[in-house]
């Protein structure tokens, strides 16, 4: 996003950083700036698409875990299922990595 803003010759500054999606959504909703967000996450917020820039290409999601216990395995399985269900429209082949 920063590269796109600078390439357009626009001035910018870092107005907010957040450690959760909700905090970033609320900051953008409050007019503090722009962010790259998945369209599916913005439905309940008063956020509009910025027409100054072209759409950003799809990005890959990787989930890494240090622990290898049963609870972590269960959590990774649940997270993977949630992501898969929310990306069901994406029919591209997904890269699978062997377990460590």
**Calpha distance 1→83 (Å, rounded):** 24
Helix (H) or strand (E) holding 65: none
Q: Mean pLDDT score of the chain, rounded to an integer?
A: 79
Buried b / exposed e along 1-39 (16+ C-beta atoms within 10 A): eeeeeeeeeeeeeeeeeeeeeeebbebbeeeebbbebee
If one compares 86 and 65, the residue with the highest pLDDT of the two is: 65
| Contact criterion met (CB below 8 Å) for 47 and 31 | no
Predicted TM-score (pTM) of this structure: 0.52
**Calpha distance 69→75 (Å, rounded):** 10
CA-wise closest residue to 60 among 82, 38, 34, 31: 38
| The pLDDT of residue 89 is above 70 | no
**Calpha distance 42→48 (Å, rounded):** 9
Residues 4-24: what's their mean pLDDT?
87
């Amino acid at each position: 996003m920063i590269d796109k803003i600078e390439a357009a010759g626009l001035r910018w500054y870092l107005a907010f950083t957040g450690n959760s999606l909700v905090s970033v959504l609320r900051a953008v909703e409050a007019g503090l700036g722009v962010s790259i967000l998945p369209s599916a996450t913005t439905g309940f917020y008063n956020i509009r698409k910025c027409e100054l820039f072209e759409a950003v290409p799809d990005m890959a999601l990787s989930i890494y875990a240090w622990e290898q216990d049963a609870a972590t395995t269960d959590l990774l399985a649940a997270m993977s299922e949630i992501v898969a269900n929310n990306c069901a429209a994406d029919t591209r082949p997904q890269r699978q990595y062997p377990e460590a």
